[in-house]
Amino acid sequence: MQNETFKIRRAFLIPLWIVIILLFALFILTIFKAQRWEMFGAGAIFVILLLIGIEAASRKITVSEEKLSLKKFFRTKEFSWAQINHLGVVELGKKVYFLLSPSRGFHFFSNMIQDHAALVSLLTQKIDEERVEQEVRDYLKRPVERLSVIVMSYVAALIIVAIIILKLTPG
């Protein structure tokens, strides 16, 4: 088996980066046509979302024959399959979080990972059966896709476009 890498869904990353670019445009616009508090507010929101975008774009989970590798915000954690003590799932409507407990600490990922059902299936094959909750196996029978965040990102982009248009219109 070769390494399989899973990243955040492109369907989420694309509108997220559109929002970030539009916020940058709004920030530049507020430098010339706004009060100081608007400039600081737009700049702060832009910087926070830029950091979130960089983290989301760089996050990845790699499954290989001998280990699991999690890359989050410029750091990588690697675990052998024997080090993983537990794999669980928490479902909150369409939001699904998978809890991975190695010998030290815990890590989680959501159903915003591209092809997350295949990832969870690989994990259940690699981790000893008694360390995987039954709810995880039940989830694999009916995986849930989370589309609301993607839709909300496009709505946010439209709202920012409307704000930019209002800033550019005289009056």
Residue 106 has pLDDT above 70, yes or no: yes
Write out pLDDT tens, residues 123-136.
Answer: 999 998 899 999 99
Rounded to an integer, the average pLDDT of 18-42 is 91
Helix pair angle (10-33, 148-168), 10° resolution: 20
Contact partners, residue 112, CB within 8 Å, separation at least 6? 8, 9, 12, 146, 149
Its pTM stands at 0.85
Neighbouring CB atoms inside 10 A of 155's CB total 12
How many CA within 13 A on the CB side of residue 7? 13
Residue 90 has pLDDT above 90, yes or no: yes
Neighbouring CB atoms inside 10 A of 43's CB total 17
Residue 1 has pLDDT above 60, yes or no: no
% of the chain with per-residue pLDDT over 70: 99
Give residue 3's pLDDT: 87
Give residue 171's pLDDT: 65
Give residue 43's pLDDT: 94
- The band of 24, judged by pLDDT with boundaries at 50, 70 and 90, is very high
Rounded to an integer, the average pLDDT of 13-21 is 96
- The mean predicted confidence, pLDDT, of the chain is 91
Write out pLDDT tens, residues 46-89.
Answer: 999 999 999 999 999 999 999 999 998 888 999 899 899 999 99
Q: Please give the Cα distance from 56 to 150 (Å, whole number).
A: 14
- The band of 105, judged by pLDDT with boundaries at 50, 70 and 90, is confident
CA distances in angstroms from 143 to 8, 47, 108, 139, 161, listed in the order given: 16, 34, 17, 6, 34
Give residue 118's pLDDT: 93
Task: Please state the separation of Cα 23 from the chain's center in Å.
Answer: 19
Amino acid at 139: Y
